[in-house]
Amino acid sequence: MRAFLSVFLTGILGIPALVQQDLKPFVFDHRNSAGSVIDLSFMLDAPAGKRGFVRIADGHLVTGDGKRLRLWGVNITDWTRGSTMFPTKADAAMWAATLARFGINCVRLHFLDLASPRGLIDSRREDTRAFDTEQLDRFDFWTSELKKRGIYLNINLNVGRSYKAADGVKDADKIRWGKGLTLYDPRLIELQKEYATQLLTHYNPYTKTEYRNEPAVVTIELLNENALYPGFRAPTPAYDKDLLELYNTWLKQNLNAEELARLRKLSDVAADQPIPRLQGNEKNGAAAERYYTEQKFFMEMERRFFLEMQKHLKETLKVRAPLVATADHSHSGSSYPLLASTSLLDIVDGHTYWQHPGPRGIPNTPMVNDPLNSTVIELSRTAVAGKPYTVSETNHPFPNDYACEGIPILAAYAALQDWDGIFWYTFEPKASSEWQPVIGDAFDVSHHPVKLPQLAAGALMFLRGDVKSARETVQRTYSWQQVADSARLPATERPYFTPGFPALIGLEHAVRIGSLNGQPTAKVPWQASNSLVSDTKELSWTAAPAKGGLVSVETERSTALIGFIRANPVPLRNMMLRLQNRFAAVTLSSLDENPIARSERLLLTAGAMAANTGGEWNEDRTVLQKAGSAPTLIEPVTGDLVLRNLAPARKVTIAALDGRGQVIGSPVLAKKTSEGWQAALGEHVTTWYEVRVER
């Protein structure tokens, strides 16, 4: 493993950073895209839920009639100016049609519990216990338009609710979203149940169902990125006091006198004093008995909350949709204590981002050069055997120079891993009065000129099953002690926190957790190499010292090259590229049921760097000092494309498409050569093409 990683390190250090290229305007216009040449809505089974309520069979999501269901989705949020979670009735049909056209078959309805005019909660009241009727009506109409087009709904409950004093919540003005507190405070739990009841029993007049009886609801998430753990600090003394009392009550109920005395001694407190909790990083150096005791307390608290909420939804409200507790969301440390609780519910879920932006910037390096820390490997730590696995938040956030690699890589490897859903964070519908062709923030893909076509290509790879699931699944198991200890391990042990388990095996085989309360995993024999090839032989992740990494996808209906293509001229069965760009992602997918070799219509995406007009980096390109404004810009992908091994054809044309999905100018006529059908890319500024083959 050390030798293998040194090869990648050599590659990383040997490659100079990308520099600003000659970027040119390329803008998506959803409002005038009804006649787009590329329309993947045919892949969606409309209306959503027509086959009955989604359920779980053989560890995966299936429709009511037992057909396997994968989810290729986006989050719906409104964090940038001019965005809205609930489009107007005049716009709802357009935005629903836009999502369907790009192959999106599910939306994660996130931050519903914000105050109006953003979320559902009526901001005019002194409490947060009622909905804004106008917002609720827009929400109902929006969900009906999504359902109509075959787009399922993932409803989030507790995400961004900020409480008020009239709610009967202590220190309401100081706890913001109440992270952690929502798992143990009785009043906050009571309010969460009330909110769930109000929302899920609400009758939608447009679909003529209550949300609890709505077959288009594919899953319901209880909490967003929420957990308890040793060292947890409550935001105010009152909540800290409550937690201390809960802890000491639990200790008296679960420890005998001798154990309590020993714990008091380890904590250095007298017999008449409460036993303190560990504070901050004290957990790392605490005596094992003290640490294990507190870890067990928090794990039981989490489990109790999730099971209590599950009972309320399933038994009291009779909700039909599968449930998610919360996501594995913190990759700076182990999630296994939390996962031991969340895996008790129907679906296991994970979040991660490649180089999440912050005030200090990002390394701004390509993921293809760092597979060990890739989103693929980080996310694969969470999947549990026998449970559906979804990724409800992920992205290569803007402004990373290498962001074009994110969607095609994860689409391919999520299919290899046989996951059940991927939700890109985030898609922000724009109000007509505020529409701007701009990358709105670090996460918004709604007008991203490279990622939008890639969403369509990813839908073909993942939803259609172009990339086969791995032939072999490798399981690992943990003892309870390993699970507890994992939370004290240094970050160098990420992402698996498993002695003897080679993390990079997840690029070759499917991986799952078999148990979080069993025997420790035996050492897994595995031989590392510079090129990691999936056991299906369809995916390859290659280390090329001093050149840069390359991921290749080679299936019958989809093929791709992602990374430093110019330095690694790899000919695929149906595609060969000679590019001028140093870094790019190019995908080619059949738009009919035929393999590429016999297809009559294909989608070609070609993406590199993207930016806003006037955006400015610092000197080492780690911090974007000015985000820029409209219009969006791209580095056009230029060079030669060769389509290879096509069944006998008499004509091949390649049509560049604009941001409405309409043909730009005249299609390019490919030239028949000894290598195949050759055409030059880059004559027109674009990130996607329609390829037509006449026979």
> b/e string for 249-266 if b means 16 or more Cβ within 10 A?
ebbeeeeeeeebebbbeb
The predicted-structure confidence for 89-141, as pLDDT tens digits, reads as follows: 999 999 999 999 999 999 999 999 999 999 999 999 999 999 999 999 999 99
pLDDT at 527 (0 to 100): 83
The predicted-structure confidence for 290-306, as pLDDT tens digits, reads as follows: 999 999 999 999 999 99
Q: Where are the domains of the chain?
A: 56-229+299-462, 237-291, 473-530, 533-694
Instruction: State yes or no: pLDDT of 326 exceeds 60.
Output: yes
pLDDT at 19 (0 to 100): 57
Q: How far apart are CA 419 and CA 71, in angstroms?
A: 9
Edge-to-edge strands of the sheet including 389-395? 323-324, 217-223, 152-158, 106-109, 71-76, 421-427, 389-395, 348-353
DSSP 8-state assignment for residue 170: T
Q: Which of 614, 609, 664 is nearest to 637 (CA)?
A: 609
pLDDT at 491 (0 to 100): 82
The predicted-structure confidence for 468-508, as pLDDT tens digits, reads as follows: 999 999 999 999 999 999 999 988 888 888 888 999 999 99
Distance from the first to the final alpha carbon of the chain: 50
What are the φ/ψ torsions at residue 373 (nearest 5 degrees)? -105, 15
Mean pLDDT over residues 12-33, rounded? 76
Q: How would residue 11 be classed by pLDDT, with cut points 50, 70 and 90?
A: very low
In CATH, what class is 56-229+299-462? alpha beta
pLDDT at 13 (0 to 100): 40
537 contact partners, CB below 8 Å, separation of at least 6: none
Q: How would residue 51 be classed by pLDDT, with cut points 50, 70 and 90?
A: very high
For the chain, what is the mean pLDDT? 95
Q: Token digits for 630? A: 């409209």
Q: How far apart are CA 453 and CA 606, in angstroms?
A: 9
DSSP codes of every residue in 546-595: TT--EEEEE-SSEEEEEE-TTTS-PPPSSEEEEES-SSEEEEEEESSSS-
Helix (H, G, I), strand (E, B), or coil: what is residue 354? coil
pLDDT at 1 (0 to 100): 41
Q: How would residue 18 be classed by pLDDT, with cut points 50, 70 and 90?
A: low
Burial of 96 (0-12, 13-18, 19+ CB in 10 A): buried
What are the φ/ψ torsions at residue 115 (nearest 5 degrees)? -75, 150
Give the Cβ contact number of residue 201 at 10 Å: 14
